[in-house]
Structure 1
Amino acid sequence: MKRETSRSYTLGELAERLDARLVGDADLRVGGLSTLADAGPTDLAFLANRAYLKYLAATRAGAVLVHPAHGDSCPCPRLELENPYLGYAKLSRLFDPLANQPLRGVHATAVVSPGARLGERVEVGAHCVIEDGADIADDCVIGAGCFIGTDTTVGRESRLHANVTLYHGVIVGDRAILHSGCVIGGDGFGFAHDGTQWEKIAQLGGVMLGDDVEVGSCSSIDRGALGDTRIGNGVKIDSQVQIAHNVQIGDHSALAGCVGIAGSTKVGRHCLLGGGVGLSGHLTLADGVQVTGMSLVTNSILEPGVYSSGTGSMSNSQWRKNAVRFKQLDEIAKRLTRLERDIRDS
C-alpha cells in the first residue's frame, strides 16, 4: 500500500536536487514515488532494472526517473540519470512520512534522570528510560519504550525506533538509525571453564558506532571484553545480525540479514556480507571483500574480491549422492596422488 505524504515537488525542483536532465514540463508537480506498474498521474516512478522495462510504455506515472538509454521509450515527462536507483534513493527521503513529522518533546510517561542531558529539539517517546550520565544530542528522536543506559551518548539527528536498548557506556554517532528490538552493548559471550562449570568474564569494554550507521531490527552488537567493539562510519547492518565482542567493521561495509560474526574479527572497509554469512573469530577481512550468502569463512581473507562457500540447492537424491562422495574425497585424493606418482616413476 502506498503511503500518502503532504509534500509535493515540481519536476524542476527534483531535477535540480539530482542534477538530472529534465525532459518535459518543469512545473509538473508530483506528490509521491511508486513503481511503474502502480504509479498514478501524481506519482514519480523509476526504472532501475531492465527486467521492468516492459512496464514503461504503459505506465500511468506523471513522470519517470530513467536512464538516458531508455528515455525515448518513456511516454511521459522524465528525469534522466546515469544511476536511476541512486536517484530514487535520494528522493525517497523527501517523501518519508517519518522524516516530516514535527517533534513532540518528552512524553509524560518517560523517565529521564536529572543527570541525563537532552539537547535541543529532542523527542522522547512514551515509557522511555534514560539513565544518569546519558547524553542525547540535538534533533534526536527516541521512540517509545527505548532504554538508554548510564553514560551512553547518542549523536545528533539520530533516530531510535521503538524498544531499542542501549546499554551503559555506548557511543552512537551522528545520524544513526536504530530499528526496533536491536540491542547495543549487551555482554559478549565470554566464559572460562574450570573443569566442571563456567566462570563468567565481565565485559569491561563498550561499543562505538560511527556516523550514519543503520542497525536493523532485532540485531545485537556486543560490548568489548576489554577494548571496544567498533562499527565504522556509514556501516549498514540488516535485521537479526549478531556481532560479537571486540569485532571491528570498517567504514561503509554492509551486512545482510542473519550474518553472524564471532569475537575479535576485523572486517575491512567497503565489504559486503550476504545473508546468513558466518565469520569465525579472530579473522581479518581485507577492504573490498564480498562474501556471498550462506557462506562460512574460517580463515582470514587478505585480498579483495568475491568469495563463496557451500553448494547450491539440488534435489535431495542428488544431494545424498554428493554427500557420500564428499566423505570419500580424502581417500580419492590419496589414490590420485599415488597414481600420479606411479605414472611419473613408470
Structure 2
Amino acid sequence: MHKINVTELCKFLHNEFSVSLEPLSQLKEIFLCDLDENEPNTLNWCSKDNIDWNTMKAAVLIAPSNIKIPMNCKTQVVKVERPRLVFAKILENFFNDITIHDISESAKIGTNCQIHSGVRIGHNCVIGDNVIIGKNSIIDHGVIIQKNTQIGKQCMLNANCIIGGHGFGYEKVEEDYIRIPHIGNVVIGDGVEVGALTCINRGTLGSTLVNNGVKIDDSSFIAHNVNVGKNTIICSHVVICGSVQIGKNSWIAPGVMVRDGITIGESATLGMGAIVTKSVDAQTIVFGNPARKKI
C-alpha cells in the first residue's frame, strides 16, 4: 500500500482546503486503499452518502458535506464539497507517477527546434525539425512529433502517440489514387494531455488545433484541420474526421465517430458509441447510430 505521513497530511489539508484533521492516536503513517478494500489505518474517500458504517474500518474518510455520521463512529470523517477533487489533490501532492526526469540520449531531435526549460523527453522519441515544445511539458517514451508542430507548456504526450502525421486524403484518377500532400501542422495549447497510441494529423494547408486544457484518452484519432475547443474531453477509441469544429467544454465518450466537416457546439455531450453524422447544437446530448438528441 502507498502511505502518507499523518502530520504532513494534516498540514496539507489545512493549507489547501482549510480542513482540520484531528491527530490520529499512535498513527504516524496512513495508508491508501480502494473503498471496497476498506482496511484499518487507511485514508479513503466516497462521493455518495450511502456508506455502510457497520463495515467501515478506514481511519479517515473524505466524504460529501451532506453525509450523516452515526454516533460512536470510529472513522474520522472529513466533510468537503468535492471529495474526489480533494483525494486527487492529495495524490498529486504526495505521489508522482511521472518516470521521465530529463531528455533521453536516445531521443532524436531535429534542427531549429525550441525545447523550453523543464521539458522531459523519454526514450526513442523522434522530434522533427522546427518543433516548439513549451515549458515543463512531458513527452513520454516512443512519441513521434512531426516537423513544424507547436506544443504549449505543461502538456503531457503519452507513450507512442503520433503528433503531426500525414492526413488521409486521395483523389481518384481512373483506376489509381493520387495522394494529396498535407503541408500544414498541429498546434497544441497549454495543459493538454494526449493519450498513448493516439494520432493527431497535421492540417492540409493550415493547422489542426487542440486548444488549452483539452484531454484526449488513449487510442483515439484526430484528423486533419480539426479544431478541438478549450477544455474538451475526448475519451478512448474516438474517431474525429477531417475539418470537424468542436466547441469548448464538450464531452466525447468512448467509441464515438464524428463524420467530416460538421460542427459540435459548446458543452455538447456525445454519448458512448455515437455515430455523429450531423452537426450538434451547443449544450445538447446525442447518442446512438445515427446519433440523435436525447429527449
Same fold (TM over 0.5): yes
Local SS of the residue matching 2:200:
strand
Paired residue for 2:209, among 209, 220, 230?
A: 230
C-alpha deviation, 1:257, in angstroms: 0.8
Q: How does 1:333-344 map to 2 (within 5 A)?
A: none
Task: Return the letter of the residue paired with 2:225.
Answer: N
Q: Deviations over 1:92-118 (max 9, x none)?
A: 21233335x794xxxxxxxxxxxxxxx
CA distance in 2: counterparts of 1:43 and 1:149, whole angstroms: 47
CA distance in 1: counterparts of 2:228 and 2:143, whole angstroms: 21
8 A Cα contact 1:292 1:307, kept in partner: yes
Alignment of 1:89 with 2:68, yes or no, is: no
Alignment of 1:184 with 2:163, yes or no, is: yes
Structure 1: gaps (5+ residues): 104-122, 312-346
Partner residue in 2 for 1:276: 255
C-alpha deviation, 1:141, in angstroms: 1.6
8 A Cα contact 1:215 1:239, kept in partner: yes
CA distance 1:25–1:223, change in 2 (3 Å)? same
C-alpha deviation, 1:78, in angstroms: 3.0
Partner residue in 2 for 1:70: 67
Alignment of 1:166 with 2:123, yes or no, is: no
Task: Return the letter of the residue paired with 1:88.
Answer: F
Partner residue in 2 for 1:37: 36
Local SS of the residue matching 1:184:
strand
Task: Return the letter of the residue paired with 1:181.
Answer: N
Partner residue in 1 for 2:188: 209
CA distance in 2: counterparts of 1:31 and 1:179, whole angstroms: 31
Partner residue in 2 for 1:338: none
CA distance in 1: counterparts of 2:118 and 2:28, whole angstroms: 30
CA distance in 1: counterparts of 2:54 and 2:190, whole angstroms: 42
Q: Alignment identity in percent?
A: 25
Local SS of the residue matching 2:66:
helix
CA distance in 2: counterparts of 1:15 and 1:38, whole angstroms: 23
CA distance 1:8–1:75, change in 2 (3 Å)? closer
CA distance in 2: counterparts of 1:144 and 1:32, whole angstroms: 33
Alignment of 1:287 with 2:286, yes or no, is: no
Paired residue for 1:61, among 58, 68, 90?
A: 58
Alignment of 1:128 with 2:135, yes or no, is: no
CA distance in 2: counterparts of 1:230 and 1:102, whole angstroms: 26
CA distance 1:143–1:8, change in 2 (3 Å)? farther
CA distance in 1: counterparts of 2:217 and 2:100, whole angstroms: 27
C-alpha deviation, 1:32, in angstroms: 4.9
CA distance 1:31–1:227, change in 2 (3 Å)? farther
Task: Return the letter of the residue paired with 2:10.
Answer: G
Partner residue in 2 for 1:24: 22
Of 127-136 and 27-36, deviating more is 27-36
Task: Return the letter of the residue paired with 2:35.
Answer: L
Partner residue in 1 for 2:293: none
CA distance in 2: counterparts of 1:207 and 1:9, whole angstroms: 46
Task: Return the letter of the residue paired with 2:44.
Answer: A
Task: Return the letter of the residue paired with 1:175.
Answer: Q
Q: Deviations over 1:198-224 (max 9, x none)?
A: 111111110011111111111000000
Structure 2: gaps (5+ residues): 291-295
For these two proteins, the number of residue pairs brought into alignment is: 287
C-alpha deviation, 1:289, in angstroms: 0.4
Larger helix fraction of residues: 1
CA distance 1:237–1:136, change in 2 (3 Å)? same
Task: Return the letter of the residue paired with 1:14.
Answer: F
CA distance in 2: counterparts of 1:235 and 1:292, whole angstroms: 18
Of 234-243 and 37-46, deviating more is 37-46
Partner residue in 2 for 1:300: 279
Partner residue in 2 for 1:319: none
Q: How does 1:315-334 map to 2 (within 5 A)?
A: none
Alignment of 1:262 with 2:210, yes or no, is: no
CA distance 1:282–1:102, change in 2 (3 Å)? closer
CA distance 1:161–1:266, change in 2 (3 Å)? same
CA distance 1:161–1:191, change in 2 (3 Å)? same
Task: Return the letter of the residue paired with 1:300.
Answer: S
Task: Return the letter of the residue paired with 1:72.
Answer: I
8 A Cα contact 2:14 2:20, kept in partner: no
CA distance 1:9–1:135, change in 2 (3 Å)? farther
Of 148-157 and 267-276, deviating more is 148-157
Please give the root-mean-square deviation of Cα atoms over the aligned residues, in Å: 2.4
Of 301-310 and 227-236, deviating more is 301-310
